[in-house]
Amino acid sequence: MLPQLHGRKGPKYKALAEAYADMIDNGEIKAGTKLPSQRILSYQLGVTVGTVTRAYQELSLLGKTLSVVGSGTYVKETLSADSYYHPLDSQQGIDLSLCRPLIVSQQQHLHNALQQMLGQPQAQSAILDYFSADGLCGHSDTLRQWLNQRWHSKLTPERVQWTYGGQHGLSVILQALTRSGDTVLTEGLCYGEFIHSCAQLERRIQPVAIDDQGLVAEDLLLQCQRHRPRLLYLTPNVQNPTAVQLSAQRRLQIIDICRRFDVLIIEDGVMYCPPEQRQLPLASIAPDITVYVGSFSKYFAGGVRVGYLVLPANLRVPLLKALRSTCMHVSPILIDLICRWLCSGAMEEVDNHIAMELRARYRILTQHLERPADHVIQGFNYWLTLPPQHQAEQVTKQLYELGVRVRSGQQFCVGGYGQVNAIRLSLTGPKTRDELRAGLEIVRSCVR
Ligand SMILES: Cc1ncc(COP(=O)(O)O)c(C=O)c1O
């Protein structure tokens, strides 16, 4: 079947490429078909071989064909942009289970950063290279300056390290600083992937009691005496899943106990905390015994996969060794994007937008379900305690059947911590406020 050129404007090679592209798009030519040789086609159409060569190059640039050296030009299997960028495991319904940052202006900031990069050949060449795990001077400086401003600190270069996000940071810490059989203490209800990482690496995980002020210091003391743990993992700013914040008094008690028992604190600061509720990290109060795990996943975009550690300088060597073994070094391309957003003010702008949208979403929660207690941090997750006549596992299943996904509280229980009758609702799972309203209405119908 020959492409028809008449009626098409512009240079002949473009007209030929467009004619072929249309035939491919509307299914007249199927994926895998070999296009005619350039010489034969030029003869059949009465155009020069050069015109066909340029047309084939254009088709290849459009992503429609693939040239195989010595064999010819073949039509590629193509998906529409919609299907190409469709998640493989996507599910129907309303998602109140995924704790993702709200997408506000991030796409515009990505566009701006890429455009800025286009005019910077030095940056382009640098970020394509291999490095040691330390990375690039400018990237490290940018991160330090940003942290110093937020924490009112003076971090030295050896105290910061990039990672591929919070989960990677935690995994590197477990590998570097613990051995098989070591005990790690955690809050009784804990971020699930940390529990899985400990299980996978054969670290024993031991729960410590929590209440509405966070980790209970008396129980920490007891568990330290009993288990002689190596690490304490905790989320002082916003607890995942309960959204409780560790009180000022408990912070000091915990640091004191950890010093007495020579326990290293792993402070997870990944979860989004609204600006007015943020507290200075334990890492700025007890920098010698705390490794801080930070990430831009919840503060900007989960897909960027960039985070960082703030560590005591004496732990740099083992931590970098473990990091190298997992990934050599973190992609400077991704870090460069983050640094551009840190410098341009994009990160702060997104932070403020997220905080504003969250306030609106908490108003919806109050209207449709219940008013959050005063001690709850109004971040991404809401911990809904159920009345005894409703069992969390059953409610979770029932909601699933009604097209609403939530997490049952039991998923967050660290072995032996006991029963909880609650579900975790992620207020940022739904992309729109209307979807959130609809989801919360269904939740209400099941639990009231
Ligand atoms: C408490 C906590 N820490 C760490 C992570 C992982 O962060 P990242 O997505 O940056 O790997 C999560 C993700 O949900 C989390 O909730």
Q: pLDDT band at 234, cuts 50/70/90?
A: very high
Instruction: Identify which of 240, 266, 293 to mutate to test ligand 1's pocket (most ligand atoms within 8 A of the CB).
Output: 240
* Residue 83: per-residue pLDDT: 82
Q: How far is residue 36's CA from residue 142's CA, in Å, rounded to a whole number?
A: 54
Return all residues near 96 (Cβ < 8 A) that are at least 6 apart.
404, 405, 406, 425, 426, 427, 429, 430, 436, 439, 440, 443
Return all residues near 300 (Cβ < 8 A) that are at least 6 apart.
101, 106, 338, 341, 347, 350
Domain with CATH 3.40.640.10 in the chain: 106-346
Q: How far is residue 19's CA from residue 8's CA, in Å, rounded to a whole number?
A: 8
**Is the shortest distance between the CB of 297 and ligand 1 below 6 Å?**
yes
Q: Give the CATH superfamily of 94-102+347-447.
A: Aspartate Aminotransferase, domain 1 (3.90.1150.10)
Provide the 10 A C-beta neighbour count for residue 58.
19
Which token pair is 191? 């971020």
Q: How far is residue 369's CA from residue 366's CA, in Å, rounded to a whole number?
A: 6
Pairing of the two strands 404-405 and 381-385 = unpaired
155-182 burial: b if 16+ Cβ within 10 Å, else e? beebbbbbbbbbbbbbbbbbbbbbeeeb
C-alpha 392 chain-centroid distance: 27
> Average of pLDDT values for 381-409?
97
* Residue 103: per-residue pLDDT: 85
**Is the shortest distance between the CB of 417 and ligand 1 below 6 Å?**
no
Q: Which residues is 445 bridged to in the sheet?
A: none
* Residue 275: per-residue pLDDT: 96
pLDDT in tens, 11-28: 999 999 999 999 998 889
Q: pLDDT band at 419, cuts 50/70/90?
A: confident
Nearest residue to 294 (alpha-carbon basis) of 150, 426, 138? 150
CB 162 within 8 A of CB 127: no
> Average of pLDDT values for 28-36?
92
* Residue 363: per-residue pLDDT: 98
Domain with CATH 1.10.10.10 in the chain: 12-81
Q: What do you get for the CA distance between the two ends of the chain, in Å?
A: 66
Domain with CATH 3.90.1150.10 in the chain: 94-102+347-447
Phi, psi of 51 (to 5 degrees): -65, -45
Q: How far is residue 272's CA from residue 269's CA, in Å, rounded to a whole number?
A: 8
For the chain, the average pLDDT equals 95
Chain position carrying tokens 């897909």: 303
Residue 135 has pLDDT above 80, yes or no: yes
* Residue 78: per-residue pLDDT: 77
CA of 149 to the centre of ligand 1 (A): 23
Q: pLDDT band at 133, cuts 50/70/90?
A: confident
Q: Is CATH 3.40.50.1220 the classification given to domain 12-81? A: no
Q: What angle do CA 38, 42, 43 make, to 5 degrees?
A: 120
* Residue 89: per-residue pLDDT: 84
Return all residues near 288 (Cβ < 8 A) that are at least 6 apart.
312
| 7-15 long-range Cβ contacts below 8 angstroms, 24+ apart | 12/47, 12/51, 12/55, 13/51, 13/52, 13/54, 13/55, 13/58, 14/55, 14/58
Q: How far is residue 368's CA from residue 427's CA, in Å, rounded to a whole number?
A: 12
CA of 104 to the centre of ligand 1 (A): 20
pLDDT in tens, 330-370: 999 999 999 999 999 999 999 999 999 999 999 999 999 99
Pick the CATH number of 106-346 from 3.90.1490.10, 3.90.1150.10, 1.10.230.10, 3.40.640.10: 3.40.640.10
CA of 421 to the centre of ligand 1 (A): 23
Residue 272 has pLDDT above 90, yes or no: yes
Give the ligand 1 atom nearest the CA of 165.
10
Chain position carrying tokens 């006549």: 389
* Residue 91: per-residue pLDDT: 85
Instruction: Identify which of 298, 338, 428 to mutate to test ligand 1's pocket (most ligand atoms within 8 A of the CB).
Output: 298
Residues 31, 36, 38, 40, Cα dihedral to 10°: -170
Q: Is 188 helix (H, G, I), strand (E, B) or coil?
A: coil
* Residue 90: per-residue pLDDT: 83
Q: Please state, in angstroms and as integers, the Cα–Cα distance from residue 233 to each residue in 10, 163, 290, 314, following that order.
A: 65, 18, 10, 19
> Average of pLDDT values for 417-429?
94
Q: What angle do CA 55, 58, 62 make, to 5 degrees?
A: 140
Q: pLDDT band at 154, cuts 50/70/90?
A: very high
Q: Is 265 helix (H, G, I), strand (E, B) or coil?
A: strand
> Average of pLDDT values for 404-417?
94
Q: pLDDT band at 162, cuts 50/70/90?
A: very high
pLDDT in tens, 73-121: 999 987 777 788 888 888 889 999 999 998 889 999 999 999 999 999 9
* Residue 179: per-residue pLDDT: 96
Chain position carrying tokens 């960082």: 308
* Residue 319: per-residue pLDDT: 98
- What is the 3-class SS of 106-145, one letter each residue? HHHHHHHHHHHHHCCHHHHHHHCCCCCCCCCHHHHHHHHH
> Average of pLDDT values for 294-319?
97
* Residue 284: per-residue pLDDT: 95
**Is the shortest distance between the CB of 365 and ligand 1 below 6 Å?**
no
CA of 47 to the centre of ligand 1 (A): 59
